[in-house]
Structure 1
């Protein structure tokens, strides 16, 4: 099923068991922020991006090393180098994503990011080392920025795809097929939002962080609340602005977000995550990287 109807999607999704696959990845990869500067093309539709004078490449590299070290305590994490020609490559999950045995390569809206899809080292690693098949969406005309635009509940095989200039309906359908999902809900993001994963995180298939202000249609928020029940955590505008929705669970009992996001969490949100949903909230400083308009989840490409 792929639909714009929240109620039809909800009825179908509620009947699905969490037996589609593991709810969390078996490994992850990063791309180092070498050449980390403001990409003016990307800034056209990313309101979270800072001004050029706020970018500090040295600080971003230090933060990224800390992120790599921290995540490696939880699962295997490897890192590819960045390049001056691809200043946004520190956010690889928009370009590269995986399903079991398959590498998916997305179609980016901006040319500066389409260069990343040409990387022979990342393609070759998955093809020649891991033996993954390749689904290459990068050469077709419809934008589909993978797990930036599409938040996936891996346990149930559900997709939540926000439509914007970074992903159209045809792109959503291409991703739905590429990941082999059981059902995908398409919806409009609120004006000014560029990626779904800034306003929604599905955690290990059993909880969700939701920024209500990021959705054009309140019915989508209602469907998420109904689907994830007591573990659907509604984030405040302040938590939203601090990237608390750009979080990821890489293990069953922990959720990762930036230090700024964690500091912004209300007592109620922390209780919902830690006491009710059973997640330890873990964080690392990423203020320099967040100047690029994304946060921790954007830095992490999952390997399933």
Structure 2
């Protein structure tokens, strides 16, 4: 099993804005969205990123958000669906308006592009029980070693983490990670803002795991996986240094490490030097999406594993 893919899904937004339904526990959404051109700016950032990845020899399948539904966060498809060979998984979403993203018919678009799925696992029924699991936003998959890392939060229910592991044959490393918000220590809403796994590296804000025993378990699991561990500070995490993703080129399989321009600027020179030994660093400006959406480059990509 490969850790990375050369084919991705992205959703072009039609009504991007700060989603007040998610801002209640996504503290990476900053500032009030009073601009009248937020969608226009986000669309430009989206198009730039999609074109950049295509120029780097990544197959980008773009689904158009028609605007028929109130889906301000549709630009972040990795929270709603994940792909595992011929299996696709749909997830229960914390915010009610994010559940509308399932109406965008992503699977239909993929079928037109030549990808079919013989099993669809649908966890969305757990929304009725107020249990949530927001896909690879909360589940950091080590596909090589069949291990999933998950920081528990209102968007990551431990029962559903176990259900995912049983259905997809993973083992779980579960912990709690926190960030400082106005002097309070609060759960980080998505694991993928505090850690990222590549084929041979791991980026993690280890200090966000305040329980020493949990921190040691995570560190040991990463060490056992053989990856180089690159630690980032909470300040770097707040600038989306943890929200990065390794992809690979379609022709030669060369590794690419995709991140926002903001994240790139906040990595130290030494950290960038280390990362560059694992793949080409690809950066793109996502300031509007990051400020109002509270997510970055990784959140915008749903990886398609088709073999």
Q: Among 175, 183, 189, which residue is 1:194 paired with?
A: 189
Q: In 2, Cα distance between the equivalents of 1:88 and 1:178? A: 27
Aligned to 2:29: 49
Query: Could you list the per-position Cα deviations for residues 151-184 of structure 1 after superposition, in whole angstroms to 9, with x for gaps in the alignment?
Result: 0012222110111000111111122234332x21
Aligned residues: 279
The 5-angstrom pairing of residues 15-34 of structure 1 reads: 21-34=1-14
Aligned to 1:4: none
Aligned to 1:75: 58
* TM-score after normalising by structure 1: 0.86
Change (3 A) 1:157 1:59: same
Alpha-carbon offset, residue 118 of structure 1 = 3.4
Q: In 2, Cα distance between the equivalents of 1:264 and 1:109? A: 30
* TM-score after normalising by structure 2: 0.85
Q: In 2, Cα distance between the equivalents of 1:219 and 1:250? A: 28
Change (3 A) 1:136 1:150: same
Structure 1 position 106 matched with structure 2 position 91 = yes
Aligned to 1:244: 241
The RMSD of aligned alpha carbons is 1.9
Alpha-carbon offset, residue 49 of structure 1 = 0.5
Aligned to 1:303: 304
Structure 1 position 234 matched with structure 2 position 231 = yes
Query: Could you list the per-position Cα deviations for residues 90-147 of structure 1 after superposition, in whole angstroms to 9, with x for gaps in the alignment?
Result: 111000110011111111111111111233x213234675220211111123211010
Higher deviation after alignment, 290-299 or 110-119: 110-119
Return structure 1 stretches of 4+ with deviation > 4 angstroms.
126-129
Q: Among 191, 196, 201, which residue is 1:207 paired with?
A: 201
What are structure 1's unaligned runs of at least 5 residues? 1-20
Aligned to 1:144: 133
Alpha-carbon offset, residue 189 of structure 1 = 2.2
Task: Tell me the SS of whatever aligns to 1:43.
Answer: coil
What are structure 2's unaligned runs of at least 5 residues? 179-185, 249-253
Q: Among 135, 154, 163, which residue is 1:174 paired with?
A: 163
Alpha-carbon offset, residue 71 of structure 1 = 1.3
Q: In 1, Cα distance between the equivalents of 2:3 and 2:147? A: 11
Q: In 2, Cα distance between the equivalents of 1:124 and 1:59? A: 28
Q: In 1, Cα distance between the equivalents of 2:110 and 2:13? A: 21
Task: Tell me the SS of whatever aligns to 2:98.
Answer: helix
Q: In 1, Cα distance between the equivalents of 2:222 and 2:89? A: 29
Q: In 2, Cα distance between the equivalents of 1:286 and 1:116? A: 21
Q: In 2, Cα distance between the equivalents of 1:301 and 1:222? A: 26
Task: Tell me the SS of whatever aligns to 2:21.
Answer: helix
Q: Among 103, 112, 120, which residue is 1:134 paired with?
A: 120
Alpha-carbon offset, residue 237 of structure 1 = 2.6
Q: In 1, Cα distance between the equivalents of 2:227 and 2:76? A: 31
Aligned to 2:288: 288
